[in-house]
Every structure is written in C-alpha cells, then in structure tokens.
A and B are shown apart, each in its own frame.
Chain A
Amino acid sequence: MKLQRMNRRALALGALAVSGALALTACGSDDTSSGSGDSSASASTQAGSIDCGDAKNGQLLSDGSSAQKNAIDAWVAQFSKACGVQINYKAGGSGAGVTSFTQGQLAFAGSDSALKPEEVTASKKVCSGGQGIDLPMVGGPIAIGYNLSGVDNLVLDAPTLAKIFDSKITKWNDPAIAKLNPDAKLPDLKIQAFHRSDESGTTDNFTKYLKAVTPDNWKYEGGKAWQADGGQAAAQSSGVAAQVKQTNGAIGYFELSYLGDGVSPVSIDTGAASPVVPSSDSATKAIADAKVVGTGSDLALQLNYATKAEGAYPITLVTYEIVCDKGNKSDTLPATKAFLKYIASEEGQGLLPGLKYAPIPADIIAKVRTTIDGLS
C-alpha cells in the first residue's frame, strides 16, 4: 500500500515535470519565432524577391484541400524563412476548410472546388462588407495509373475510361482497348478499377471530366463521392496508388505526384493529333483553355474538359485559395496578402512543376495578382 502511494507521488511528480517541460518548450518555440526577426533579415535577402510587405511576425491559420498540401508546404517553408510568419495549413479537406472559413476561424482556406452560392452567402457574415472569393493558385494533373505487366504506353480515351470505371469493360483484351492500342499485347486479365473511398475533389474532377466528354457512357451525377457501382475503393490518393501498385491488372486515378515505380500513366486520346501524357506542362495547357466564371473579383474557373488543344491534358483539377475580397481581419491581412502575393508570383508558381503540380497560366495568374493587390 505504502509502495503504491509512493508510486503515485512519483507519477504525479513525473507528470508535472513532463507537462512543465512541454509548457516550457511551447514557450520556447514561440520565442524563437518572434525572436528570429534579426536572422530573418539575412534570410530574406537569401530567399530572393519575396516581398514581406507589412507582414509582421505572427501566425496565420489555414485549412483545406489536401490536394495542394505539398505546394503550400513548399511555399510556407520559403515564405516563413523570409518573413518570419508562421503559416499553419492543416490540410483537413476542402469541406473542413470552407466550413472553418465561413465560421471566421481562418485567414484563408484552400479548396479544390469553387465556393457554392450558399457558401458565398455564409462568407458574407465573416467578411464585413465583402464576400469570399476564389483565387486559382495550383493546378494538378490527375493521372490515370495502371499496372499491367508487359504493356507500356497504354492509350485510352474518355468513353473507354468511363466504361472501365463503370464495370462495362471488364477485361484488358477488350476490343475497345485493343483498338486504341493496336501494338500492345493485351492479356486476357480482369481489370480491377480502383476509386477513392473518401470524398474527394479528385473524384469530383475525374467524374466531371467523364460526364463532360462522354455523357452517354457516364450517367452519374458526379460529386465528391464515388457513385458508380462495382470496382474497388481505397482511402486517399496514396491508398489508391498503393493498391494499383500491389495488383497486376489494376487501374486507378490519383494526383500525378503519387505516380511511382511499377505504375505507369495512361496517355489520353483527346482527339488531338497525338495522345497526351499527364505532366505539369500539359495540365497548364489545359487550364489555359478554361474560362473565368466568377463574378466581380472572384476568379472561379470552368475547365474545358473536352479540350482538343494540342498537348493539353484534360483531366486536371484547380485548387483555390479562398479569402475575403473586403473585410479581412486587420491583424492577419498584411501577412495573408504578402503570402498570396508570393505564391502568385513567378517565383512561387515556379516551384510547382518540381512538385508535379501545374502552374496557373500567365493570363489568369495576372488577374489573380491584380485581385490580391485589391484585397482589404
């Protein structure tokens, strides 16, 4: 009994020590972030042309699309080195990002779909005198990856893709596939089509593409949840990519950056002279064919999925940063503006191809820059 009591006391002491240490280190990290003002001056010259504006040391909260997480991470690393502003991007999903934004918790949100009318209405409550607007910042080609030993350079078109993912084509040696790949030796093997089990902007864009290009073969409404019957599902892009890698005869869709060893990208026959391989460059070409459909300072894009432009890869998503056009919180506005300005700059966009994202085409990003200058 006495032993137990002593143990408990020791435990309490230990707990105190641990929590104390945690509290101290928490303070410590705050200190370094605010105390690093001196060193950041030298860092800013090193990081080049990042204009910190009136951004003061501090913290920006942000949440949203996981599709643009790697891009944001790279930008944040550069930006906080130069300006000493900590940006905390949670990547909890577009839905979570927009919800928190309309509750006024975030400086900006990331989303892979533009604000819906009811979300714009909700945003008016937190943007006093203004509303939430979409700024396209990151393009992402969605690769169709397949794993089929002995077959390289597979070419598919939209109707075939729709039929494969709708379980209408079930064998790899189907005549429709053979017609597009006259030289390939297609095996008599079951096609295992993988889709996302979680709700996702990737699914949304992929099915929007199928619906836009081949409505006869893709009769589902679309949306973030997968609707077709059949096929198999896995969580997150990483899960789909891992399943495709594990399974001979598998095909799935995911962001280009998840394409790895053992999984090859399908080239898409868009009707252009030659089939298009997914890449940063070909995705940017497809986004260049998009229309701005947002009104006022909103720059929501409508992609032309049926594009036949030479070398344009049509299965592409665009992710937005969502901010208030007017009525941003005064304490976060300078830092938000400086950060957005940086990521829309040539330097910021220039980081994207290295991360297998697509930069936003020149004429659209020019509009984005003008809009950012006008934020208040």
Chain B
Amino acid sequence: MDITTKNTEAPPPTPQPTEAGSKRAARGATRPGDRIFLGLSRGSGILLLVVMAAIAVFLTYRASLAISEDHGNFLTTFEWNTGVTPPTFGIAVLAYGTVISSIIAMVIAVPVAVAIALFLTHYAPRRLSGPISYVIDLLAAVPSIVYGLWGALILVPNLNGLFGWLNDYFGWTGFFSWEEGAPRSMLTVGILLAIMILPIITNVSREVFRQAPLMHQEAALALGATRWEVIRMSVLPFGRSGVISASMLGLGRALGETMAVATVLSPDFLIHLSLLNPGGGTFAQNIASKFGEANEFGRDALIASGLVLFVITLLVNGAARLIIARRKEYSGANA
C-alpha cells in the first residue's frame, strides 16, 4: 500500500518510461520468459471463457428443465410455488426487486463515494486521509452476513424515524407512503447495499482521482481557478470513466448480494409501488431462502432465476462498457 502511494505521489509519469517499456517488450518477445508468460496469460484468458461457457450451459440446461414445466408465465407470474403440482413460478417480482434495490443503492452510494474520494485526494490533510482510506478498506472486508446482522439489529429498528418523515412529507407521491410495520422494505435493502458497495466505489475512484494529471490541475490553478473549479474541470472529467467502472463493480455486488438482503428484507411476491412497505424480493435472496428445502424441481426453477440474474448482469456490464468506450476520448485518460 505504501509503495503505491509513493509511486502515485511522484511527478506524473513522463512518456519515456512507456517508450522504453514498449521497446523492451518488442526486443524481449522471443525470450523464453516472455513466451511462458504469454502462454500462461493466454491460457488463463481461455480458461475464463471456458468457465463462463460451462456456467452458462449448466444454467441453461437446468433452467430449461424447470421452465418447460412451469404452469405460470416465467416472466410475468407473481408467485413462486415450486413444491406443489402443478408448479407455478415467475421472476417478475424478483427482477423488479433486484433492479430497484440496486438502483437505490447506486443513487445513495455513488455520490457519497465520489465525495469521499475527492475529499481524500484533494481536501483531507495527509494525516487524516491515511486512516480514513484504511477504514474504508476494512469496510470492504466485512462479510455480508455481518452487514445483514447489523442491518437487522441496528439499522431496521432505527429506520422508523426516517420512514415516518418520508411518509409525512413525500407520502403523497405514492413511492414513499408507509403503513405501520417494521421497516424491512426495498429502501432498507437499498440503504444497506449502499453501505456495502461504498468501499469498492470509493477505493477505485480515489485511485483514479489520484492519477489525475498534476499538469492539468496546476495549469487550472495558474489560470486562477478555485479548488472546486480545478476538480470540476480537470479531475472529474479525467476520472469519469474510472468512476463509472468503479460503480459497475459496486453494482455487480449489489445485484448479487444475498445474505444481507435475506436478513433485512421481509420478502413476498407482490410489487409494491411504495419503496417503504415491506415486500418484494431479489434473485439472490430468493435462491438463498428457498434452496435448502427445495426439491430437485424447485432447485431447477431457482437455477432458472439465477440464469436471469446472469443475463441482467451481462446486460448491465455490456451497457457500462459502451458508456465507458464512448466517454474515453473525452476523458483525460489519453492526456
């Protein structure tokens, strides 16, 4: 950790090292070490593709077994009942819950994470930024079941006030109306997920902001920009694609989070307009809570729902790649 810090605080890398590096690479392409390394890395890449294909084939096969027996519509049925004959199950509520809870988490976590990262790199005194970074790293290492326990024992009992306030002032929108009840809803899940994905977004954003070219910042300062203007004009544009990548990492965790959601949510198979009313569910939570007691067929059905999560994750990652590819040329990445 210390070594990287020192590296990044050195003056921005001049073009020479990269040139030298590429020369060395060109010259050494035939040396055995490079060939071995090439083989190893290519092998790893191919292995990854094979593993992904194997997962996809397995999911598709088991899912097809279940879906062909489903007496509801797999995409639109608001029910999950695989233990009876005829079995009826559908993923509508799970897909909605997964997406909504992840969106809530992103809306809360991304601005906070970017703010923390900017504070650490541009505002905080060095003596403070070290410990804060360290604490954020620690947050990332806390297992999700611990977040779940914390959520159930501390967060949920203390959310009554916030939920009541939202209901009083924003209840008229319908999205924040709340009937008396334990606050174990989609918003609770979103808040908990936001805390869980905060460290990874913060850490990556911090590293990206730290790489923002000093020359740009000094140039802006020389032109009389304030610190905020420097950040807005040179740091944020440079870091944009990095922040998006970081957010995608966080989103991946939010989409797939299992135990924490299963612990704080009161799941059912209805879509509630209000984010505050208990109910809904996510793919991972549903799999975790139903897998143990499910029979062979029930497991296939759960695997089918897992396949949908797999597809959603692929779509989200694809979309993120598109966004990053489009923004790359405007960012400072090639400065």
Contact = CB atoms under 8 A, between A and B. Distances in A.
Q: Do A and B bind each other?
A: yes
A190 interface: yes
Interface centre among B83, B84, B263, B278 (most CB of A within 10 A): B83
A246 B182 CA distance: 9
Contacts of A239: 263
A371 to B, nearest CB: 25
A98 B295 contact: yes
B209 interface: no
A364 to B, nearest CB: 25
Interface centre among B181, B265, B289, B292 (most CB of A within 10 A): B292
A199 B294 contact: yes
A84 interface: no
Given A190-B180, A232-B184, A233-B267, A223 B83 contact: yes
A317 B83 CA distance: 18
A175 interface: no
Given A223-B84, A246-B157, A201 B182 contact: no
A302 to B, nearest CB: 18
Contacts of B266: 197, 232-234
A294 interface: no
B138 to A, nearest CB: 20
Contact of B295 (A99, A198, A201): A99
Interface in B292-325: 292-296, 298-299
A227 interface: yes
Contacts of A192: 180-182
Contacts of B83: 199, 223-225
Interface residues of B, number: 31
B290 interface: yes
B275 to A, nearest CB: 16
Contacts of A190: 179-181
B155 to A, nearest CB: 13
Is the contact region of chain B dominated by helix, strand, or loop, or is it mixed? Answer: loop
A214 B270 CA distance: 25
Interface string A224-240: 11110111111100010
B262 interface: yes
Contacts of A270: none
A54 interface: no
Interface string A245-283: 011000000000000000000000000000000000000
Given A232-B278, A235-B263, A246-B182, A225 B290 contact: yes
B298 A95 contact: yes
A96 B295 CA distance: 7
B185 to A, nearest CB: 10
Interface residues of A, number: 36
Interface in A67-99: 92-96, 98-99
Contacts of A223: 81, 83-84
Interface in A184-200: 190, 192, 197-200
Interface string A347-373: 000000000000000000000000000
B186 to A, nearest CB: 13
Nearest to B293: A199
Contacts of A247: 182
Interface centre among B270, B289, B293 (most CB of A within 10 A): B293
Given A190-B180, A229-B270, A232-B266, A198 B82 contact: no
A346 interface: no
Contacts of A246: 157, 182
A224 B82 CA distance: 9
Contacts of B157: 246
Given A190-B180, A222-B84, A235 B262 contact: yes
Given A93-B292, A197-B266, A232 B180 contact: no
Contacts of B207: none
30 contacts: A93-B292, A93-B293, A95-B292, A95-B293, A95-B298, A119-B295, A190-B181, A197-B265, A197-B267, A198-B289, A198-B292, A199-B83, A201-B293, A221-B81, A221-B84, A222-B84, A224-B83, A225-B80, A225-B81, A225-B82, A226-B268, A227-B81, A229-B268, A229-B270, A230-B268, A232-B182, A232-B266, A235-B263, A242-B152, A243-B182
Given A197-B262, A201-B293, A235-B262, 19 more contacts: A94-B293, A98-B295, A99-B295, A116-B295, A197-B265, A199-B83, A199-B294, A200-B293, A221-B81, A221-B84, A223-B81, A225-B290, A230-B268, A231-B268, A232-B184, A232-B278, A233-B266, A234-B266, A246-B182
Interface of B: 79-84, 152, 157, 179-182, 184, 262-263, 265-268, 270, 278, 289-296, 298-299
Q: List 3 tightest A-B contacts by C-beta distance, closest first.
A: A93-B292, A199-B293, A198-B289
